[in-house]
Amino acid sequence: MTFEQWLQSRLTAHGYPCGLINGDIGNKTIAALVAFQRSRKLPVTGKADEATVEALRRSSSNGPGLPDRPASTSAGVMVQGSGWPRQGDVPRFFGAVGTSQGRLDLPFPMKLAWDKRQTVTRITLHTKVLDSAGRAFGEIADTYSAKERADLGLDLFGGSLNVRRMRGGSNYSMHSWGIAIDFDPIRNQLRWKSPQARLSHSDAVPFWQAWEREGWVSLGRERNFDWMHVQAARL
């Protein structure tokens, strides 16, 4: 049994099915890995890091033992783009605030949350996150119809690049680097928790999973506040 098959078998045994135990690490296995990490209150890295492997190993007395991890997978099984830095390392990884920005063409039109007469077809993001955000938006477009996007508020753009300090603090917001995006801020206000926040409902789970597969972090999913917000930086 390969390390990848061991990983899939242990996740499945714990109630996080990966489909076929074939060593092929696809979206289903990654989603199961993220869900397991969240249930065990581990850092949600989206990869088979040491803490996650140890948690699986400790509870595997009735299952197959842990095989040697091949050198080729020594970095772990990662979500695409999940090499995003922790918030404290963002300046070193992304550079100065407001720099290295590019434009992302959206796969579906959005509206400005504060002026719905204005249509948004392109948004500004850091060049390092453009491809990742494009894949997430593409998956969202494939998953939800226009009506479903409108019902959830996924077509209401609350901002991306915005060089400013965090609310009530001295550190720069993740928006200052163009690595965060807000959706429907009126129905997902900063201090609102589940179930008050619209994006905390079950029909939003595929939306969040599209971002999590790219290693982006939802403050709502992680901390139960600021459900409008997703960022390419770990907590």
Whether residue 219 sits in one domain with residue 106: yes
Q: Dump pLDDT digits (tens) for 153-165.
A: 999 999 999 999 8
More confident residue, 85 or 153: 153
82 found inside a domain? no
More confident residue, 92 or 213: 92
117 found inside a domain? yes
Whether residue 175 sits in one domain with residue 60: no
Q: What is the total count of domains within the chain?
A: 2
Dihedral over alpha carbons 103, 104, 109, 110 (to 10 degrees): -70
From 26, 50, 73, the end of a domain falls on 73
Is the model's pLDDT at 92 over the cut of 60?
A: yes
Residue 153 confidence (pLDDT): 98
Whether residue 33 sits in one domain with residue 92: no
What is the pLDDT of the chain when averaged over all its residues?
86
Residue 71 confidence (pLDDT): 37
81 found inside a domain? no
Whether residue 175 sits in one domain with residue 142: yes
Whether residue 223 sits in one domain with residue 110: yes
CATH code of 11's domain: 1.10.101
More confident residue, 71 or 85: 85
Full residue range of the structural domain in which residue 122 is found: 87-231
Whether residue 227 sits in one domain with residue 171: yes
Share of the chain above pLDDT 90, in %: 54
Whether residue 195 sits in one domain with residue 91: yes
Whether residue 63 sits in one domain with residue 177: no
79 found inside a domain? no
Whether residue 142 sits in one domain with residue 110: yes
Whether residue 97 sits in one domain with residue 209: yes
Q: Dump pLDDT digits (tens) for 111-137.
A: 999 999 999 999 999 999 999 999 999
Q: Dump pLDDT digits (tens) for 34-80.
A: 888 888 888 888 888 878 888 887 765 444 455 544 433 333 344 44
220 found inside a domain? yes
Give whichever of 15-19, 169-173, 180-184 has the largest mean pLDDT.
180-184
Share of the chain above pLDDT 70, in %: 89
Whether residue 135 sits in one domain with residue 163: yes
Whether residue 225 sits in one domain with residue 163: yes
Residue 220 confidence (pLDDT): 95
Is the model's pLDDT at 143 over the cut of 80?
A: yes
